[in-house]
Amino acid sequence: MRKLTALFLLLTCLSLHAEEEIIRLYKGPAPGSEEWKHTEQVSLTNLWQARVVFNVVNPTLTVFRPDSGTTNGTGIVICPGGGFFGLGIDSEGFDVARWLTKKGFTCFVLKYRLVHCKTDDPTREMLSQGNLDTVVAPTVKLALEDGKTAIGYLRTHAKDYGLKPDHIGIIGFSAGGTVATSVAYNYTAETRPNFVAPIYPAYSWAIKDHGVPADAPPMFILGATDDPFNLAPQSVTLYQDWTSAKKSAELHLYSMGGHGFGMRKQNLPSDEWIRLFADWLKIQDGK
């Protein structure tokens, strides 16, 4: 019995270690926020009733690898949401990665830079701000750079993770969808994502000064019509912008689902959204 217990503990530790492989995106202070003195924190008691990471200063990627021999060579950067005040790190990050790795994808959950919170509850602090447009705008620019740097890093180190350099994309939720969309509008040859998936994105916050790029990547867009933040029309606008530029796009809007559902179970059709995404990825993989 003791041997079995010891073996179980060993396997558990190995599993946790595998999920905690961390890549720091910048060798020194992140460009543009060199003077930031606050430190990353985690909130467990908040309005979202979830684990929320906030005050991210040093952007990182947490690596989730498929089982040995099952990788398909596609890498996915995952950007959790949280209004640029926090990151719903589980439902819109680690849980997404765990599901996708079972399908052979190698996943990298991005902790991008956020608005500096002065309290220990980023969810309440965000609600106290009123109109967030001007509050988050400077941080969106920094988060965009983090997203691009993540893509560039993975392309440079593709062999280290068993990735095909032309099969590296990005998915983001809510504010993370803003990051993913901004990356889709602003990239170099080294940082161009091969596919982009904004999930209930705050499109109005995205940086899109130069219009849809001539070589814009294919896009998967998904949300819910009953989104309480009225983001469904923004998904439609994003789809129209992409298709008007004659770029590949797929749009799904559930009648119910609300906002921020991620991998949470609500006993609604939207619970199965990730299967639609995986099916779409198969098509991209075959191109």
And the tokens for 283?
A: 């098509």
Domain-wise residue ranges, the chain: 23-285
pLDDT at residue 120 above 80? Answer: yes
- CA angle 144/147/150 to nearest 5° reads 150
Are 56 and 94 a contacting pair, CB within 8 Å?
A: no
Alpha helix (H) ranges present in 22-174? 95-101, 122-127, 133-156
Instruction: Output the pTM of the full model.
Output: 0.93
pLDDT of residue 3: 42
Q: Name the percent of the chain lying above pLDDT 70.
A: 93
The residue among 9 and 195 whose pLDDT is bigger is: 195
Q: Is residue 14 over pLDDT 80?
A: no
Token pair of 130 as six digits: 């009123």
Using the predicted structure, report yes or no on whether residue 230 has a pLDDT greater than 90.
yes
Tokens linked to 199: 């999930």
Q: Please report, rounded to a whole number, the percentage of residues in the chain having pLDDT higher than 90.
A: 91
State the Cα–Cα distance between residues 144 and 179, nearest whole angstrom: 5
| pLDDT score of 287 | 61
CATH architecture, range 23-285: 3-Layer(aba) Sandwich (3.40)
| Confidence tier at 12 by pLDDT (50, 70, 90) | very low
Average pLDDT over residues 134-154: 98
Report DSSP state, residue 272.
G
What's residue 20's pLDDT?
A: 76
Q: Tokens 């994309």 appear where?
A: 169
Which residues neighbour 72 within 8 Å (Cβ) at sequence distance 6 or greater?
Answer: 66, 103, 104, 105, 285
